[in-house]
Amino acid sequence: MSLLVSAAFAALLALPSFSEKIPITLDIVNAFGAPDGFNRSMVTANGTYPGPLITATKGDTLVVTVNNLLDDSSMRLSTSLDFDGLWVNTPDAFNEGSSFVTTCPIAPNASYTYTVPLVDNQTGTFWYHSQLSVQYVDGLRGALIVYDPDDPLKDLYDVDDENTIWQVGDWWHNSTLPMLAGYVATGIVPVSDSGTFNGVGRYNGGPEVPFFVVNVVQGTRYRFRIINTSARNVFTMSIDSHNMTIIETDGTATSPMTVNSIDMLAGQRHSVVVEANQPVANYWINAPYVGGSPARNLNQNATLSRAILRYAGAPEEDPSSPMSLGPADEDLNALVEANLRPLVAAPAPEADINVTLNLVVTAGKAQWNVNNVSYLAPEVPTLLKILDGANSTDDFNVTENTFVFPPNKIVQVIFPPSEDDEEHPFHLHGNNFWLIKSNSSEELNTENPIKRDVAGVGSTGTIMRFSTANPGPWFFHCHIFWHLQAGLATVMASGLDETRKEVHPTQAWNDLCPAYEALPPELQ
């Protein structure tokens, strides 16, 4: 099958629905494509990279049917889908999509329907991707937007539609199975060949694939929703001669903050308002990235990671200005994460429980530890163990690194400063957290901290708090998926009795594990 560049199909899925239930069908297929000019077999949703845009309106329910039609044995043949950033209430925990935490993967030639109510008036910018091993590195990722007809910040922008979504991501020419084997053998995380902007990129010595073009009209204000769909890379976003006003962070409405450069870790999202207030011309959208030494992959040239902001009336050509990495130091007004504030100020609740998580890598090995434990996915999903009677940490394997908390408590997670030179984007599934201390600052903020679901953990230390008022087993892991695969993960399980009372899986969910376990290894 060939990769379909199907803007029309994506737009169809993006049309607003007047139904409370949004039916979506994703055929997970292998398709050949060349996002950066290098042709390879990929794992895709409906044959496209990125996958089809999914949209909904506040209060809707997503009904996503996944048909696993994968047949290329050079990559994983089973699959599982996660809806990154969406809150999942306890009764729906079995549809959360985390392989071996809340579900088993979907076997080849099988189907499963995820029913995900959009709860608590949640709106904002999200995405979906495979949650099986490092499979989304092979292409299974796409945007998911929940619109708010009553957006309190809508007077700041004029346009917010399927054409104002920016998905940046790292891209590899090799498939994941040999890269993962190389990582296990050497402990060296694979370095991407390129970066893509809405599925388009370039690499050193490769063909000059036309840059993605973002069309604007002079005098119009645009809400651009930026999603870092990487499995490793940190992207630095900027637009020549234009400022960006941040109004959303990981689904949280943000007190407007104007900057000209934003660092985005894997899994993070921001909405920014950009006013097309410059002379009619073409301008570079800069999206350079870092993620491992370029010396380990000579294809990599972060300067080639970019797109074009084209004003109506400008010639159809590349900007005349040089390709830069963003604003010069003397002009830099970069986002400092610690300065983000929610639109509606509210204090963080006091912590009832404190947990310290120390992250350590085993030298020379593809092994990461959290409190001296390297996470290893169990054969029986965590949720199934809870439903079968697990009551305490002792009822889980040590390598499941499962923390058990009572319901209706506030847990404070402390990541001490790390000597590791890489910032780890820790992501909480099914919920979000108050960011009490950002890795970007020494400041402690309990008065009006931002709430988000991905935050960096690194050299200065990070502190976050989350509530256990939503019982269930929720994956909490590094969104550098190579590190996750090497053990940099935990499960935050709360209210086990309440989970048993409220979670009633369907027969289709019950059938997933026996079907997957019956597969020979090459089909898993």
Instruction: Enter the tokens of residue 370.
Output: 């959290």
pLDDT-based confidence at residue 364 (cuts at 50, 70, 90): confident
Q: For the residues 30-34, what does the mean pLDDT come to?
A: 98
Q: How many domains does the chain have?
A: 3
For residues 127 and 228, state if they share a domain: no
Spatial strand order in the sheet of 40-45: 40-45, 21-33, 61-68, 111-117
Specify the pLDDT at position 252. Answer: 98
For residues 181 and 101, state if they share a domain: no
Specify the pLDDT at position 421. Answer: 77
Q: For the residues 435-452, what does the mean pLDDT come to?
A: 97
Q: Is the predicted pLDDT of residue 6 greater than 60, yes or no?
A: no
pLDDT-based confidence at residue 420 (cuts at 50, 70, 90): confident
Q: How many CB atoms lie within 10 A of CB 59?
A: 16
For residues 247 and 366, state if they share a domain: no
Q: For the residues 482-506, what does the mean pLDDT come to?
A: 98
pLDDT-based confidence at residue 320 (cuts at 50, 70, 90): very high
Specify the pLDDT at position 363. Answer: 83
For residues 139 and 184, state if they share a domain: no
Specify the pLDDT at position 4. Answer: 45
For residues 145 and 171, state if they share a domain: no
Q: For the residues 167-183, what does the mean pLDDT come to?
A: 97
For residues 387 and 254, state if they share a domain: no
What CA–CA distance (Å, rounded) separates 11 from 65? 19
Instruction: Enter the tokens of residue 72.
Output: 């290329």
Range list of β-strands (E), 260-299: 262-264, 269-275, 282-286, 289-290
> For residue 86, is it within any domain?
yes
> For residue 171, is it within any domain?
yes
pLDDT tens, residue by residue, 236-285: 999 999 999 999 999 999 999 999 999 999 999 999 999 999 999 999 99
Q: For the residues 416-427, what does the mean pLDDT come to?
A: 91
Q: For the residues 16-34, what does the mean pLDDT come to?
A: 86
Specify the pLDDT at position 43. Answer: 98
Specify the pLDDT at position 16. Answer: 42
Q: What is the CATH number of the domain that holds 177?
A: 2.60.40.420
Specify the pLDDT at position 11. Answer: 38
Task: Give the C-alpha distances (Å, rounded to integers) separating 206 from 25, 34, 193, 294, 382.
Answer: 34, 11, 10, 16, 45
pLDDT-based confidence at residue 7 (cuts at 50, 70, 90): very low
Which pTM was predicted? 0.96
> For residue 242, is it within any domain?
yes
Task: Give the C-alpha distances (Å, rounded to integers) separating 75 from 36, 38, 479.
Answer: 20, 17, 20
Q: For the residues 503-514, what does the mean pLDDT come to?
A: 98
Per-chain mean pLDDT for the chain: 95
Domain residues for 113?
7-149
> For residue 456, is it within any domain?
yes
> For residue 2, is it within any domain?
no
User: What is the radius of gyration, based on Cα positions, of the chain?
Assistant: 22
pLDDT tens, residue by residue, 291-312: 999 999 999 999 999 999 999 9
What CA–CA distance (Å, rounded) separates 97 from 189? 25
Specify the pLDDT at position 10. Answer: 40
Q: Is the predicted pLDDT of residue 9 greater than 50, yes or no?
A: no
Specify the pLDDT at position 199. Answer: 98
Specify the pLDDT at position 381. Answer: 98
Q: Is the predicted pLDDT of residue 509 greater than 50, yes or no?
A: yes
